[in-house]
Amino acid sequence: MPRGPRREGWLHRNPRRLQPGFTRPPRRPGKTHHGLARVLSKLGVASRSEAADMIAAGRVLVNGRTARDPEQPTDQSVDLIEVDGRAATGAKPVYLAMHKPAGVLTTAHDPEGRPTVYTLLPDDLNSWVFPVGRLDGPTSGLLLFTNDSRVGDALTDPESGVPKVYEVKVKPQMSAEALAALEQGVELDEGFVTRPARVHVLSSNPGSTWFELTIREGKNRQVRRMALAVGHEVTKLRRTRVGPVELGDLKSGTCRPLTAAEIRALKVLARGPGGRR
Ligand code: URA
């Protein structure tokens, strides 16, 4: 599994950690520590389950001692974590847009061996990245990846209100009443009522309707369940925008790095209204 490069900057900021006799300062109040496997995945070393395997294989040292427990409480700002003898101090942030094809799963490992989004990531990434939210197997379109857990977690927070735009094809033709119901909010099966959405019809004929749907939440299979709530089956679903990032003409099955302007805009969104988060 690729690892981030050795970060000299971190060593310069924390030179005492490398000296004999260094004792770890007391933990700060508040929860600054997490399980070691989770910390390794947040540092971009590997997925949580791969990190657990690395720990089990004795490849991870915390403050000079071989770690055995993936849940060992670890504070990345205090503890010295080494993987295969190199300090794990956080890789360079990575932000990618992928055009996920239909039929590819948003998971790291599929027990049945079906293709996953990880097989489509560039080979030269030097960090573990995770998808920002997920798309169902049959859904295509824009999927973001990052190793910046602050931005990723904030964007998937149900309260973030980040707009996501989908092109939806349903059968049969959808009535104006049903489209209006999608805009106003529909009740999904467990009693959850969707927030107001935006609907823009692209084309309609007796057999089907194509429309653009903008939602600001991300319940599991939300678009398909919204359509079902008004009696329609989704036959095609494609995500074309997440916040400031557009799918554009990115070729199916490929990735591109986000632009500096897109990254800045995502960070502003991640801070929340008035910089709350
Ligand atoms: N809504 C769905 O139903 N599926 C997706 O993949 C994304 C949103």
pLDDT at residue number 22: 47
Pocket of ligand 1 (CB under 6 A): 135-136, 139, 221-224, 237
Q: Which tokens in the block code for residue 110?
A: 């599929």
Q: What is the number of the ligand 1 atom nearest to the C-alpha of 215?
A: 8
Q: Whose CA is nearest to atom 6 of ligand 1?
A: 135
The reply to whether 189 belongs to the active site is: no
Q: In degrees rounded to 5, what are phi and psi of residue 240?
A: -110, -10
**Per-residue pLDDT of the chain in tens (277 residues, 90 and over written 9):** 443 333 333 334 444 444 445 444 444 445 568 899 999 988 888 888 999 999 999 999 998 889 999 999 998 877 888 898 888 877 788 999 999 999 999 998 899 999 999 999 999 887 888 999 999 999 999 999 998 888 998 898 878 899 999 999 999 999 999 999 999 999 997 789 999 999 999 999 999 999 999 999 989 999 999 999 999 999 999 999 999 999 999 999 999 999 999 999 999 988 876 656 6
Whole-angstrom distance, CA of residue 5 vs CA of residue 9: 11
pLDDT at residue number 274: 60
Whole-angstrom distance, CA of residue 160 vs CA of residue 221: 18
Q: Which tokens in the block code for residue 20?
A: 């004999």
Closest to 22 in 3D by CA, of 80, 72, 74, 61 = 80
pLDDT at residue number 238: 98
- Give the start-to-end residue ranges of the domains of the chain: 34-87, 95-158+246-275, 164-242
List 53, 75, 136, 153, catalytic entry:
136
CATH architecture of 95-158+246-275: 2-Layer Sandwich (3.30)
Closest to 145 in 3D by CA, of 137, 154, 133 = 133
**Superfamily grouping for domain 164-242:** Alpha-L RNA-binding motif (3.30.70.1560)
pLDDT at residue number 6: 37
pLDDT at residue number 11: 39
pLDDT at residue number 168: 98
Q: Whose CA is nearest to atom 2 of ligand 1?
A: 221
pLDDT at residue number 277: 60
Q: Do 34-87 and 95-158+246-275 come out as alike in CATH topology?
A: no
Side chain identity at residue 57, one-letter code: A
Question: What's the CATH number for 34-87?
Answer: 3.10.290.10
Burial of 112 (0-12, 13-18, 19+ CB in 10 A): exposed
